[in-house]
Chains A and B, each alone.
Chain A
Amino acid sequence: MSYLSLGKLKKRFKNEVVLDGASLDVERGETVVVFGPSGCGKTVLLRLIAGINEPDSGTVHIAGQEVTYLAPEHRDVGMAFQNFALYPHLSAFDNIASPLSARGVARGEIERRVHEVAGLLKIDHVLHHLPKALSNGQKQRTSLGRALAGNPGVLLLDDPLRNVDAKLRYEMRLELPRVLKAFETTVIYVTQDYKEAMALGDRVAVLMGGGFRQVDRPASIYKDPDGTDVARLFGDPTVNLVPGTIEGGTVTALGARFPLAVSLADGPCQIAIRPESITVTLDEATSAGATPVDLGIGEDTHAVPVELDAVTPLNVRAVMLLRTADGRELLATCSEDEASRLPRGHGRGHAHIRAADLLLFDPAGRRVRPGERQ
């Protein structure tokens, strides 16, 4: 059995079913990111693992032992709360030392461990401050330090970067994997930011509609989402969803006909196209003599005439808003470099899409896997 095992957890509050048979297995030392839209029950899931709430039915096993109804203090679980939940009357040092002193660790050992954790989190210099004297970032690190100090078997992180500013979030996203690796602990990390999920998770578990929709490595979920809902949620800018029709080994969408590598039953379908799979050329450039190949576009692409409506630079990437002939909006991305060659305003051009980049779903939104593509 895996180190942390959730079996068919169900939980309802009043008349609202939050979790409806959520099952998940996490190996020792693994970091699993629980990812989902707000209100999908991520925090409730953590509280069931921590023992703050009890499930209506289902089981929680930690290290092979059933703990479903065990009090939180006996579970060997550490948790960093979204609102930090520091003890306001204790200094940062005593906050971090709390799990150690609860276990009766000797004073000298506590000092050593707290300073070690604080060093790792770079909050050595504020250990004697009360929480109200700490900045948000320091509070967040202190709360993380407290969760880590007891070296718990399972570490639960409830969207710890939610309440810190963008710069700090970026910093912590880079730093956290290193910190977590240093403790070799099993981590459940809750977030609704797909970038965090990509950066931190060994695996990502997408929580939706009361259960786990897809559990896989982050890159796999991005490349191969199980449903249109997962595809839409996982990725920024959002994936393009367009209707299409399968007919005789080809799929028609956006007025272009794409060949299919395998045969699928004829009928309507939905197609998702990641913004970065769309390459945009403007008519002026191609009419000036450059061929699509010159512009780095493969020969198996299919061109869809579009109108470029807007270009929005976002950090290193730029997002383009395109409009097809039938008025459908598409998002595409490219590097800022390429974007600088595009006009700021309108322009006529083509969106080039490779058949291999199409993700096919049935009309209900479930994935249609054409087996090996390409």
Chain B
Amino acid sequence: MQRQTVIGRGVRVVLLTLVGLFFLFPIFWVLLMSFQTNQDILRIPPSLVFTPTLENYGALISGRLESTAGVLEIRFMNNLMNSVILAVSSVALSLLLGIPAAYAFARFKFRLGEDIAFTLLSFRFAPPLLVLLPLALYFQQMGLIDTYIGLIWVYQLITLPLILWIVRGYFEDISEDIEHAYRLDGNGWFKTFTRIAIPLAKPGIAAATLLSFIFAWNNFVFALILASADKQPVTVGALAFVTASGIQYGQIAASIVLSVTPTLLLALYAQRYLVEGLSLGAVKG
């Protein structure tokens, strides 16, 4: 690497700081808000100086929101739990179905294969509202409305195509000869799939898992229509903070902080798989 001049390095630091500030400022501001009372938040002009309070977090965790209009029950922790259940099981189911399907689409040419793959992808560009009303009617008839299973099923529309298409690309990048070599060593196709194909597609699987988890976690409209209060995730649950006595900005900020944390942790954890370029140098190009 070239040696950098002191000025060059200084300019780089300043620029990076500016970019970082620009992107991180909203998160930083929300974090500050979550430690403020509604009065502090609504003060004009806004100030960085305030007495921090854990009131907002306390209200969320205890589930009791005390406002001027009286005591309000909120089910934030319950919503958070719902989010975890819905996102984790949807992604798990999608991985279970999507990875073998992606492998099949990548490795085998079969009749209508491309069409099926594309149909699955097209679920991503249909506006959810278009399918939601008929879906709600069907779900009512089938008894799936307001159940985890029904929601997880619908969430497949979001997670499955994503996992299928990302992982398929990674499978296609693995040299087929590597798998042929493993077969010739005396291993069956299933062992080749689990011992060679999946480990080599790990960066792709990690990326797809993370992305689909974020999409599932952030989904709003499916749960709004298809689930009632006790099955709703945080995205829908946050509506409860818009109360008759005003909007509870402090609690909204605190709930954002709490609901962003799992995704953030997952992203940090998955990062090392994302950058791991395993197949480098294995095959002479």
Contact = CB atoms under 8 A, between A and B. Distances in A.
Interface of A: 50-52, 71-73, 75, 77-79, 81, 83-89, 98-99, 102-103, 131-133, 136, 139, 143, 146, 150, 163
Nearest to B191: A102
A103 B186 contact: yes
A79 B200 contact: no
Given A83-B283, A86-B282, A139-B284, A73 B188 contact: yes
B196 interface: yes
Interface in B175-221: 175, 177-178, 180-189, 196, 199-200
B283 A85 contact: yes
A146 B181 contact: yes
B233 to A, nearest CB: 36
Interface stretch (B12-20, B45-53, B273-281): B273-281
A87 B283 contact: no
B266 to A, nearest CB: 23
A89 B200 contact: yes
Contacts of A102: 185-187
A75 B183 CA distance: 10
A71 B192 CA distance: 13
B186 A73 contact: yes
10 contacts: A50-B180, A71-B183, A72-B180, A79-B180, A84-B283, A87-B178, A87-B282, A88-B178, A88-B279, A102-B185
A5 B79 CA distance: 69
Interface residues of B, number: 24
Q: Which of A51, A79, A150 has the most CB of B within 10 A?
A: A79
Contacts of A143: 181
Contacts of A133: 281
Contacts of B175: 83, 85
Nearest to B280: A132
Contact of A85 (B178, B186, B199, B285): B178
Contacts of B182: 87, 98
A283 B114 CA distance: 73
A81 B176 CA distance: 11
A9 to B, nearest CB: 18
A235 B284 CA distance: 28
Closest 6 CB pairs of A and B: A132-B281, A88-B282, A102-B186, A85-B177, A99-B185, A72-B183
Nearest to A162: B284
Nearest to A99: B185
A132 B283 CA distance: 9
B185 A98 contact: yes
B253 to A, nearest CB: 44
A86 B178 contact: yes
Given A73-B185, A77-B184, A89-B200, 18 more contacts: A52-B180, A71-B188, A79-B181, A81-B177, A83-B175, A84-B282, A85-B178, A86-B178, A86-B181, A88-B278, A88-B282, A98-B185, A102-B186, A133-B281, A139-B284, A146-B181, A150-B186, A163-B284
Contacts, number: 86
Main secondary structure of the interface of B (DSSP, over half): loop
A52 B178 CA distance: 12
Contact of B284 (A83, A146, A150): A83
A74 to B, nearest CB: 8
Interface string B56-80: 0000000000000000000000000
A89 B178 CA distance: 11
B186 A132 contact: no
B280 to A, nearest CB: 6
Nearest to B277: A132
Contacts of A99: 184-186
Q: Which of A78, A87, A131 has the most CB of B within 10 A?
A: A87
Nearest to B202: A89
Contacts of B285: 83
A98 B183 CA distance: 10
A86 B182 CA distance: 9
A255 B186 CA distance: 63
Nearest to B187: A102
A94 to B, nearest CB: 11
Given A86-B178, A87-B178, A131 B282 contact: yes
B284 A136 contact: yes
Contact of A87 (B196, B280, B284): B196
Nearest to B279: A88
Contacts of A72: 180, 183-184
A344 B180 CA distance: 53
A345 to B, nearest CB: 42
A102 B190 CA distance: 13
A87 B278 CA distance: 10
A136 B284 CA distance: 8
Nearest to B199: A89
A202 B104 CA distance: 42
Nearest to B178: A85
Given A89-B199, A131-B282, A73 B187 contact: yes
Q: Which of A89, A143, A150 has the most CB of B within 10 A?
A: A89
Q: Which of A50, A85, A89, A99 has the most CB of B within 10 A?
A: A85
B284 A78 contact: no
A75 B200 CA distance: 26
Nearest to B192: A73
Nearest to A104: B186
B131 to A, nearest CB: 40
Nearest to A88: B282
